[in-house]
A and B are shown apart, each in its own frame.
Chain A
């Protein structure tokens, strides 16, 4: 089963200072943790893909417009204080395992080496139908 793990980012979280306020070695430790985690998932044959997303300031909303030219706007977004910062797609045997992986990446180190405890949304990816019994 494939799951998408969405890393949510929130400016409201007081323990989560902006990246530009981290010390360089803290950023390096964070990146190292992410790289090692992904290497481990790839070695287990569980990693399908993982990406970090650019800041929401650069995001665009695109809507088709009754068959005419599509309309591109800089919003509105569902909630301006929270956004998806990155994601993983993993292919694992059980939902339990997907939750384990989410817990692992949630604990990525932040300032002072403390775990960030980021909320990770676990979503099963739509597939073909299961065979009827």
Chain B
């Protein structure tokens, strides 16, 4: 798909989940429908650029993928039983052609239903991400494999195992109802958050594929938000993504090195994304209940609205971390809160907060990085350099190690160590 028309590619990406949805409802077999649609997409990606996009692209895909499904059944079943089997899987009320007014019925719900199906609780986050990107995001297995730097065969296996697991769980293909809803929505938002992080955090990676992941996460979160406009956490997550992505261009230097928030060139931030994020979170917060995504978005908004790092409203950020600590059990909040305390009450107060960290943070590179930063603010370059060095040795992130080592080296040079 190298020299592929991006508008056709976008169209296919948008249509894919709807076609999977139609075929899954018709035949009741998500795994087979997903495979058949992948093949139909491949056909479309070779034929459409040459022969033009058909007048009814969705109908074309449904027809071609439907034919593929039938072929699959034919190869697996005795020819005589085939017709019966396929017919038997079609609910009685769907055996007749849908009415003219029902053509697009459930088109929106299909995307949502697929998303909720892919974020199934029996799947590991890694599997749910892969399946979501392929079935809902319309990315090819090769694209997803490239983004996660694993062989295509590995990613293909992971996706097919995920589909088998869903099949084995016996959960029917339908939008979760009543009691299931909150638990499933949590999983959906978590997977979208992880896809976003994978794309955002990897902006120093080898290719543009990673940017595609964070954009895909934003696109899918927008879709969930359009369907659930009243849900404050969905709006909060979308706002968080926009407010974070807005800083992307300033977050790395010319050689891919990390640029910390305080040193970023704010003129390179995406003001349109910031405006949209701020208006989303401003509208969502009073609606409540206030969850962790909203609070994180609110914190990001305070950072993004400051014209310079020095103008940051730290007392407000500190108050928000207080709220976040009550609605989230993520231990890293303690570290960010210590930074906020240091900015409001001085570095000694921040360091005091970290004097007795919880067990999970013991040995964590972030603990040392934050302590180093606070020692630096407190005017103790030797203690700062020592902690930067420990943090650099303990991080599993290559760009972060370079950044932390550089900080340690600069401080050591200054103290003449």
Write the residues of chain A forming the contact surface with B, with a CB cutoff of 8 angstroms.
Answer: 1-2, 42-49, 91-93, 124-133
Contact = CB atoms under 8 A, between A and B. Distances in A.
Contact of A131 (B244, B333, B399): B244
Given A44-B161, A45-B161, A93-B125, A129 B154 contact: no
Interface stretch (B5-13, B32-40, B132-140, B196-204): B196-204
Contact of B397 (A47, A49, A129): A129
A103 B200 CA distance: 34
Contacts of A91: 126, 148, 150, 154
B197 A45 contact: no
Given A45-B157, A48-B151, A128 B296 contact: no
A49 B149 CA distance: 11
B401 to A, nearest CB: 7
Contact of A42 (B153, B332, B333): B153
Contacts of B318: none
Sort A-B residue pairs by CB-CB distance and give the 9 closest, nearest first.
A45-B158, A128-B202, A126-B398, A129-B397, A45-B157, A129-B400, A131-B197, A131-B201, A124-B396
Given A42-B157, A45-B161, A133-B332, A127 B148 contact: no
Contact of A130 (B126, B196, B333, B397): B397
Interface string B191-223: 000001100111111000010000000000000
Interface of B: 124-127, 130, 148-151, 153-159, 161, 196-197, 200-205, 210, 244, 258, 261, 296, 330, 332-333, 336, 395-401
Contacts of A92: 126
A48 B155 CA distance: 9
Contact of B157 (A44, A93, A124): A44
Contacts of B258: 129
Contacts of A131: 196-197, 200-201, 244
Nearest to A123: B396
Nearest to B292: A133
Contacts of A129: 201, 204, 258, 395, 397, 399-400
Contacts of B153: 42
Contacts of B158: 44-46
B95 to A, nearest CB: 38
Find the residue from A43, A91, A92, A125 having the highest chain B CB count within 10 A. A91
Nearest to B403: A129
Contact of B155 (A45, A93, A132): A45
11 contacts: A45-B156, A45-B159, A48-B149, A93-B126, A126-B401, A127-B202, A127-B398, A129-B204, A129-B399, A131-B196, A133-B336
A127 B397 CA distance: 5
A93 to B, nearest CB: 5
A130 B201 contact: yes
A75 B397 CA distance: 30
Contacts of A2: 149
B204 A128 contact: yes
B396 A48 contact: no
B379 to A, nearest CB: 25
B209 to A, nearest CB: 12
B157 A125 contact: no
Nearest to B366: A130
Contacts of A132: 261, 336
B337 to A, nearest CB: 10
Given A44-B158, A125-B396, 12 more contacts: A45-B155, A45-B158, A46-B154, A93-B126, A124-B396, A126-B398, A127-B397, A127-B398, A128-B205, A128-B398, A130-B201, A133-B333
- B126, B156, B244 — most chain A CB neighbours (10 Å): B126
Contacts of A126: 396-398, 401
B128 to A, nearest CB: 11
Contacts of A125: 396
B150 A48 contact: yes
B154 A128 contact: no
A42 B261 CA distance: 40
A124 B397 CA distance: 10
Contacts of B400: 129
